[in-house]
């Protein structure tokens, strides 16, 4: 082999190397849309973030609200204005602790059932409805056990008074199964 041939072979090898070397280019980064799949995903993630923020705010609202009493504010005329306070609610009578027996003392059919429905709606427990042994009651009689009389008699009179004239009667026996007995009259 001749030096020329050898140098030509080397040159062709270098030339191939250059071609290979120059044909290798830096990879280019291309961004493409993924068939629009990123929009629903972004929407769902945004919704989750908003719901999380809302839930956190709702759960922590008590920590950020003040439960202090109002302080008097200075009046431009020189005096102090008293803070406005809400009146405390009166304790409510817990009717669902008392069991009643309603008896119809009139000739009006179904009266005990009608009044028992009204008293049941108010919260009383109705044990029995029926007819009294006598159907000539003019006024409504209310009988209460001594041990159950803490406000029960007064509350029953209030609850019945718009429609019935109530008279107090003797106490029920302590052995009776109900706390109060109401015998409905004509008035």
Across 6-20, 74-88, 96-110, least confident range: 6-20
How far is 60 from 11, CA to CA, in rounded Å?
79
What is the predicted pLDDT for the residue at 118?
A: 92
pTM (2 d.p.): 0.51
C-alpha 160/C-alpha 171 separation (Å) is: 18
DSSP 74: B
Q: Please compute, for residue 9, the number of CA atoms within 13 A of its CA located in the half-sphere on the CB side.
A: 6
In 3D, which of 139, 169, 144, 170 has the Cα closest to residue 155?
144
- Rg over alpha carbons for the chain, rounded to the nearest Å, is 45
Q: Provide the percentage of residues in the chain whose pLDDT is more than 90.
A: 23
Q: Quick one: fold of 95-184?
A: Alpha-Beta Plaits (3.30.70)
pLDDT of residue 128: 93
- Listed in sequence order, the residues at least 6 apart from 181 whose beta carbon sits closer than 8 Å to its beta carbon are 100, 101, 102, 103, 142, 143, 172
Of 20-29, 123-132, 139-148, which one has max mean pLDDT? 123-132
Which range is least confidently modeled, 4-8, 101-105, 159-163, 170-174? 4-8
pLDDT higher than 90, residue 35: no
CA 95 from centre of chain: 23
Q: What is the pLDDT of residues 118-141, one digit of tens each?
A: 999 999 999 999 999 888 888 888
Domain residue extents for the chain: 95-184
What mean pLDDT is predicted for residues 64-93? 62
Question: How many residues in total does the chain contain?
Answer: 187
Which is more confident, 151 or 128?
128
Q: pLDDT at residue 71 above 60?
A: yes
């Amino acid at each position: 082999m001749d030096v020329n041939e050898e140098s030509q072979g080397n040159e062709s090898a270098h030339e191939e190397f250059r071609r290979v070397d120059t044909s290798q280019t830096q990879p280019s980064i291309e961004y493409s849309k993924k068939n629009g799949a990123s929009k629903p995903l972004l929407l769902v993630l945004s919704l989750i973030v908003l719901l999380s923020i809302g839930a956190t705010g709702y759960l922590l609202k008590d920590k950020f609200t003040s439960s202090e009493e109002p302080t008097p504010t200075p009046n431009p005329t020189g005096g102090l204005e008293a803070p406005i306070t809400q009146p405390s609610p009166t304790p409510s009578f817990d009717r669902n602790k008392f069991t009643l027996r309603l008896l119809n003392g009139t000739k009006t059919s179904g009266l005990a059932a009608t009044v028992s429905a009204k008293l049941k709606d108010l919260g009383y427990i109705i044990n029995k409805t029926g007819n009294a042994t006598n159907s000539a009651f003019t006024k409504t009689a209310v009988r209460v056990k001594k041990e159950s009389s803490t406000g029960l008699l007064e509350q029953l009179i209030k609850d019945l008074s718009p429609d019935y004239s109530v008279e107090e009667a003797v106490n029920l026996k302590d052995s009776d199964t109900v706390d109060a007995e109401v015998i409905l009259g004509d008035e």
